[in-house]
């Protein structure tokens, strides 16, 4: 049976997890039932028209676009396997088009809330309090990822050139400029760091040890919770906040792309939606006919 053979291939050759295999099986059994009822054919006899009919039926009965796309992915893998095994003459999924999935708007913290946290909120005067503020300020002022933050080393900071070197995905390096407020904060932090005589090459540490992701997440979640009621308060939200505030204040999209370390512009363009929403709100408030 083609479906059983395919699932066996996923388990033995591809070493997929049991959970993933069950999902593939569910999709294919659902397709098989549809084809038998509607066309009285088996899956190996399906063509692009019958598969497209199933996709349309899924959408019309309320299946979400994201779920439909996952099922299409299952079909593509399944019929690619059948083609390779010589059980079908051509791949009927070649002409299938995945429905568009609405891109959720990135969550971000308002500028006034970030100003309140960095300018008004009283962090502890100890080294740990100063370090915690440095964590928040670096994430917000540079847009770096959590993994990039915890891997920052002392040698990556160039105060004379007002920049830091960041090693991102696929070990790709990029240079990010530092504004004067952040430079001042780094200098103050460095002085406190010397006082406690930390023996570590990492810029930000937990008692001289490399910070771990959950440690940073808890810190950011706590401090953002002091100034915002937003449901999401993670380090990645500060990355979204950086990009949104930069765009709202006139930065070019390509500049933001380079600073964030995105491989292509499409990944950065998602932030334009927040800007458009802001423009819509201003328009509604300002235009007498709106």
Residue 19: burial class (beta carbons within 10 Å; 0-12, 13-18, 19+): exposed
Of 71, 133, 145, 193, which one is the catalytic site residue?
Answer: 145
Which long-range contacts does 168-172 make (Cβ < 8 Å, 24+ apart)? Answer: 168/261, 169/261, 169/263, 172/261
Beta strands in the chain (DSSP E): 157-158, 163-167, 173-177, 205-206, 209-210
Instruction: Determine contact, residues 144/239, Cβ cutoff 8 Å.
Output: yes
Of 110, 128, 174, 262, which one is the catalytic site residue?
Answer: 262
Residue 155 among the catalytic residues: no
How many other β-carbons are positioned within 10 Å of the β-carbon of residue 33?
11
Residue 36 among the catalytic residues: no
Instruction: Determine contact, residues 215/202, Cβ cutoff 8 Å.
Output: no
Residue 245 among the catalytic residues: no
Of 22, 33, 95, 169, which one is the catalytic site residue?
Answer: 169
Of 193, 219, 239, 257, which one is the catalytic site residue?
Answer: 239
Residue 236 among the catalytic residues: yes
Q: Which residues contact 260 (CB under 8 A, 6 or more apart)?
A: 143, 239, 243, 267, 268
Residue 189 among the catalytic residues: no
Residue 271 among the catalytic residues: yes
Q: From CA 130, how far away is CA 124, in angstroms rounded?
A: 7
Structure tokens at 18: 């049991």
Of 34, 189, 223, 271, which one is the catalytic site residue?
Answer: 271
Instruction: Determine contact, residues 68/59, Cβ cutoff 8 Å.
Output: yes
**Catalytic sites, residue numbers:** 145, 169, 236, 239, 262, 271
């Amino acid at each position: 049976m083609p479906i059983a053979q395919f699932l066996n291939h996923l388990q033995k050759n591809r070493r997929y997890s049991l959970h993933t295999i069950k999902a593939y099986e569910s999709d294919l059994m659902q397709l098989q039932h549809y084809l038998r009822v509607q066309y009285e054919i088996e899956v190996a006899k399906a063509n692009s028209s019958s598969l497209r009919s199933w996709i349309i039926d899924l959408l019309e009965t309320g299946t979400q676009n994201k779920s439909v796309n996952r099922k299409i992915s299952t079909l593509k893998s399944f019929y690619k396997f059948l083609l390779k095994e010589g059980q079908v003459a051509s791949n009927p999924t070649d002409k299938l088009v995945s429905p568009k999935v609405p891109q959720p708007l990135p969550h971000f913290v308002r500028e006034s809330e970030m100003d309140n946290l960095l300018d008004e909120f009283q962090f502890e005067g100890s080294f740990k309090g100063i370090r915690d503020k440095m964590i928040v300020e670096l994430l917000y002022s540079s847009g770096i990822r959590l993994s990039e933050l915890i891997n920052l080393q002392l040698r990556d900071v160039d105060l004379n050139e007002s920049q830091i070197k960041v090693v991102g995905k696929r070990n790709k390096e990029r240079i990010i400029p530092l504004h004067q407020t952040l430079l001042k904060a780094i200098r103050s932090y460095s002085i406190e760091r010397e006082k406690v005589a930390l023996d570590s090459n990492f810029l930000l540490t937990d008692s001289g040890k490399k910070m771990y992701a959950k440690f940073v997440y808890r810190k950011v979640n706590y401090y953002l919770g002091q100034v915002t009621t937003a449901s999401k308060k993670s380090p990645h939200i500060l990355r979204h906040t950086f990009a949104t505030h930069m765009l709202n204040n006139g930065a070019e999209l390509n500049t933001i792309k380079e600073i964030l370390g995105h491989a292509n512009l499409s990944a950065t363009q998602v932030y334009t939606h927040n800007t458009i929403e802001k423009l819509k709100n201003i328009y509604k408030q300002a235009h007498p006919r709106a």
